[in-house]
Amino acid sequence: MGQYIIRRLALMIPTVIVITIVTFGLLRVMPGDFVLAQMSEARGLDPESTERFRQELGLDTPAPIQYVKWVSGIAVGDWGESFWLRDPVLHVIGRALPISAELGILAIGIALLIAVPVGVLSAVFQNTWIDYLGRTVAIAGISIPNFFMALMIIIFGARWFGWFPPFGYQNPIDHPWENFQQFFPAALVLGTALSAQNMRMIRTTMLETLREDYVRTARAKGLTETSVTLRHAFRNALIPVVTLLGLQISTVVGGSVIVESVFQMNGVGRTYIDAVNQRDYPLVQGILLMLVSVTLVANLLIDLSYSWLDPRIRYS
Amino acid sequence: MAVRQEPLQEIVSANEPSRFRVVAAGLWRFARHQPLGALSGIITIATFLLAVGAWWGIIVPHDPEVFHGADRLKGLWSTSADGERLYVLGTDDIGRDMLSRLIKGAQLSIFFGLAIAAVSTVIGGVIGLTSAYVGGKTDLIVQRVVDAVQVIPFLVLAIAIVSILGPSIRNGFIAVMILAIPRPARVIRSSVLAAKETAWVEAARSLGASDKRIMFRHILPNVIAPMIVVSTYTLAVAIIVEASLSFLGIGAQPPTPSWGAMLTGSGAVYFETNPRLALLPGFSISIIVFATNMFGDAVRDVLDPRLRGSR
């Protein structure tokens, strides 16, 4: 097990290296940089001070040298300093991450709360109206764009319930109710989109496991239908669903970019959009690297959970 | 031998129904088993025809980009101040006809989505087919690159590429196209790997067929089904991503009508008094994406032999 984890971590290194090269290269190949982006706002910056500005930010050295500097900094925990905020990248991410993490966890929780019962019922009552309704609602859930749903919640929340998204981040421990009011609608938007995928996956795998020999055996033993469905079929149907959860982390991150800007939450997604608009290279690179690392580690944890879910799977 | 072959061929051709009837019967069977899927297919095709019509300038009642100061925020089914124009779905905050803007928006969404789906499926398909067929080191390298691109969230990378290249629909197209390639490449690769091991490919190889012939005559027809499914999926995703980019202001630029941009501008500002401005484009996106998804699902159910048995 320990060896397996080490091997998996080692295998991540090439992927991370490819990604650092891709993100770094992408930002440097494209026209315009931070200095030019600032210039367009504060006109009248003479060539001399632009040059000094570039030197100060380390943009005057050739790209490969900048890259090596950046990567060697990461190795010792120095992710560079944001051009725009003049703050270490790790601090900026550290401020935004709790918000996005809470949003993401809440969204995945909501997604599972919807998807598990609907998916199981859909499979048990295959090709009845329950199944058709469940599937249609699920596809509708994927089809409504995040931003439209968020906008509708804001429109009708204000109109019917007098609800307005509270501004400013409220800490969940000191102000649990304000925090909930702030996060629940946003998490609901993200969660419904995820629940649709989960529900379809649960339905398909449940249909497969319900036809397995061990389910027939369980029925033949005279177990109740509930026990057969939940203890024998459902638990074995979980593996593909858990895999999907790993893939969905990137969907959550992508969705949070939109949802955070509609609900005005200062999470990683919104910080990212600002950073891209400002050509704030260190911050954009830092955020992308962080997102990729989180996704990779989460997928490793998910692979490890397989052996707990299905005792037949053993890692060596 | 030659004498026997002649009558045999005649019998076969006499019993073979015309191609048209085979297709029609197939469509009928599809509509009966998948009524919702067939309806969705019709909606998709109708929207496509609408988009083509809008391209030629027919179907669009008024010019979607011309504004009339006297006709600001007219309600449903209202006439213009000079009594000359009928606004079926009303006007927006600067007096542009909503229906025309929605139809022009459909044109953008549909062509964007279809072009992305077609190009990414073809390029991804070729990459997947070759990668799986050649195997070895090529396959390994291609798969690592595909992995790396897929780890980064689609929308996040698209935002970076577009806002750096400069916000425009053309740059949005480039970004989304690059990002859409890995998925078909991966799906088709795995289908090819499965098809490669089948008995008929082995039979073709033992008969001395060339690699090219095996790839295109024996393997390709067997991966058409996953290709169709993955391309309907890409179509739906591309429409949503285009709308999202336009919503964030980095996709289609004003005054070009785009469903996503309609939601963020006047749609968000006037939602208190005129929710119609946001609801119409929002539901348009939802309906067309819903229809493509449903259609793709129905096609998958019909084409996937594993699911066919369980019906």
Which value does ipTM take for this structure?
0.78
Angstrom distances, CA of residue A219 to CA of A204, A223, A232, A311: 20, 6, 10, 21
The boundaries of the domain holding residue B193 are 38-308
B78: which strand partners?
B87
Task: Give the number of other CB atoms < 10 A from CB of residue A236.
Answer: 19
pLDDT of residue A42: 58
Which residues in chain B are closer than 8 Å to A135, comparing Cβ atoms? 297
DSSP letters of chain B?
-HHHHHHHHHHHHHHSPPHHHHHHHHHHHHHHH-HHHHHHHHHHHHHHHHHHHHHTT-S--S-TT---GGGTT--TTEE-TTS--EETT-B-TTS-BHHHHHHHHHHHHHHHHHHHHHHHHHHHHHHHHHHHHH-HHHHHHHHHHHHHHHHS-HHHHHHHHHHHH-SSHHHHHHHHHHHHSHHHHHHHHHHHHHHHTSHHHHHHHHTT--HHHIIIIIIGGGGHHHHHHHHHHHHHHHHHHHHHHHHTTSSSPTTS--HHHHHHTHHHHTTTT-THHHHHHHHHHHHHHHHHHHHHHHHHHHH-HHHHHT-
Q: What is the pLDDT of residue B116?
A: 94
Average pLDDT on A24-28 reads: 79
- Written as one letter, the residue type at B150 is Q
Q: What is the mean pLDDT of residues A70-97?
A: 84
pLDDT in tens, B32-57: 777 788 888 898 888 888 888 887 77
Give CA–CA dist B94/B257, Å, rounded. Answer: 13
Give which of B60, B57, B50 is closest to B85, Cα–Cα: B60
pLDDT digits (tens, 9 = 90+) for A214-248: 888 888 988 888 888 888 888 877 877 787 787 78
Q: List the single best residue of A143, A244, A247, A276 to mutate versus B (max B Cβ within 10 A).
A: A143
Number of domains chain B is built from: 1
Q: Which of B11-15, B179-183, B213-217 has the lowest mean pLDDT?
A: B11-15
pLDDT(B263) > 50: yes
pLDDT of the residue at B304: 61
Report the pLDDT value the prediction gives residue B1, as an integer from 0 to 100. Answer: 43
B155 in A contact zone (CB under 8 Å): yes
B243–A contact, CB cutoff 8 A: yes
The pLDDT tens digits for A261-311 are 888 888 888 898 888 887 888 888 888 888 888 888 887 888 788 777 777
pLDDT of A149 above 70 = yes
**With an 8 Å Cβ cutoff, is A36 touching chain B?**
no
> What pTM does this model have?
0.81
Which pLDDT band holds residue B18 (cuts at 50, 70, 90)?
confident
CATH superfamily of A96-309: MetI-like (1.10.3720.10)
At residue A314 the predicted structure's pLDDT band, cuts being 50, 70 and 90, is low
**Inside any domain, residue B27:** no
Query: pLDDT higher for B67 or B16?
Result: B67
pLDDT at A250: 76
Is the residue at B220 inside a domain?
Answer: yes
The answer to whether the CB atoms of B272 and A158 lie below 8 A apart is yes
When pLDDT is averaged across residues B164-168 and rounded to a whole number, the result is 79
The share of chain B scoring above pLDDT 70, in percent, equals 91
Of chain B residues 109-148, which have a CB less than 8 A from chain A? Answer: 144-145, 147-148
Mean predicted confidence (pLDDT) in B62-80? 74
**Structure confidence at residue B121 as a pLDDT band (50, 70, 90):** very high
CA separation for the pair B239, B246 (Å, rounded): 11
Contact A26 B164 (CB under 8 A): yes
Angle, vertex CA B203, rays to CA B202 and CA B207, nearest 5? 115
Q: Is the distance from CB of A76 to CB of A25 less than 8 angstroms?
A: no
Mean pLDDT of chain B: 80
In a domain, B236, yes or no: yes
CATH of the domain at B123: 1.10.3720.10
Q: Is a pLDDT exceeding 80 seen at residue B76?
A: no
The predicted structure's pLDDT at residue B115? 93
In a domain, B303, yes or no: yes
Q: How near does any CA of chain B get to the CA of A39, in Å?
A: 16
pLDDT value of residue B293: 86
pLDDT at B287: 92
pLDDT at B2: 47
For chain A, give every residue range classified as CATH 1.10.3720.10. Answer: 96-309
Asked if residue B157 is part of any domain, the answer here is: yes
Residue pairs between chains A and B whose CB atoms are closer than 8 Å: 133
Residue B310 pLDDT greater than 50, yes or no: no
Any idea which of A16-20, A260-264, B148-152 has the lowest mean pLDDT? B148-152
Per-residue pLDDT at B220: 82
CA distance A43 to chain B (A): 20
Name which residue leads in pLDDT, B192 or B94: B192
pLDDT above 70: percentage of residues in chain A: 92
pLDDT bin (cut points 50, 70, 90) of residue B289 is very high
Q: Kindly state the average pLDDT of the residues A181-204.
A: 85
The better pLDDT of the pair A39, B277 is held by B277
CA B171, CA B178: separation in Å to the nearest integer?
A: 11
- Return the pLDDT at B123: 93
Cβ <8 Å between B152 and A288 = yes
Confidence of residue B60 (pLDDT cuts 50, 70, 90): confident
Task: State whether residue B152 sits within 8 Å of chain A by CB.
Answer: yes
**Closest residue on chain B to A152 (Cα):** B279
Q: Cβ–Cβ of A145/B152 closer than 8 Å?
A: no
Asked if residue B252 belongs to a domain, the reply is: yes
Q: How confident is the model at residue B311 (pLDDT cuts 50, 70, 90)?
A: very low
Q: How confident is the model at residue B288 (pLDDT cuts 50, 70, 90)?
A: very high
Residue B275 belongs to some domain of the structure: yes
Digit-coded pLDDT (tens) for B227-239: 887 888 889 889 9
